[in-house]
Amino acid sequence: MSFWKSLFGGSASSGDAGEAKAGAPEAYNGFTIRAAPFKSGAQYQVAGFIAKEVDGVRKEHHFIRADYFASHDDAARFSLTKGRQIVDLMGERVFD
The 10s digit of each residue's pLDDT in 1-36 is 454 545 555 444 444 455 666 778 999 999 999 999
Beta bridge partners of residue 62, listed in sequence order = 49
- Out of 3.40.640.10, 3.30.160.350, 3.40.50.300, 3.40.50.2300, the CATH code matching 19-95 is 3.30.160.350
Domain positions in the chain are 19-95
pLDDT at residue 14, as a whole number: 42
